[in-house]
Amino acid sequence: MGLISLSKGENGAAHYDRVFLKILRGVLEEVFGKQAVGVLLKHMERRYNLRWEETPENPELFAEFLKKVLGGSSSVLESVIVQRLRAELDIKEGERLTDIKKMRRIFIERERQ
């Protein structure tokens, strides 16, 4: 299991979402810098009506946003995000951001056991 542990009173879904957003922000800031990420996220909210905290439940829309912004390079960024998420949450499935819902479901089911 990764380094980010469950917070007191946190369920599997909330934990997954928190870890996903932390990894996502970290990768975006590594690539674009903190200030540019703020601008990107504001653009995402205005153009795609997607708020940051809704991203784990709407990975397809976020992937579409990345593709519009980065073109073909978005697949490299997606791969980094998914690989870090898989490592942190010890999930074997998932290759792309479009697999995030499946990964989230697998993690939640595993945490219930």
Domain boundaries in the chain? 12-112
In one-letter notation, the amino acid at residue 57 is E
50-108: per-residue pLDDT in tens? 999 999 989 999 999 999 999 999 999 999 999 999 899 888 888 788 888 888 888 88
60 to each of 3, 96, 99, 100, how far by Cα in Å? 26, 10, 9, 8
Q: Which fold has domain 12-112?
A: 1.10.1200
3-36: per-residue pLDDT in tens? 455 555 567 888 889 999 999 999 999 999 999 9
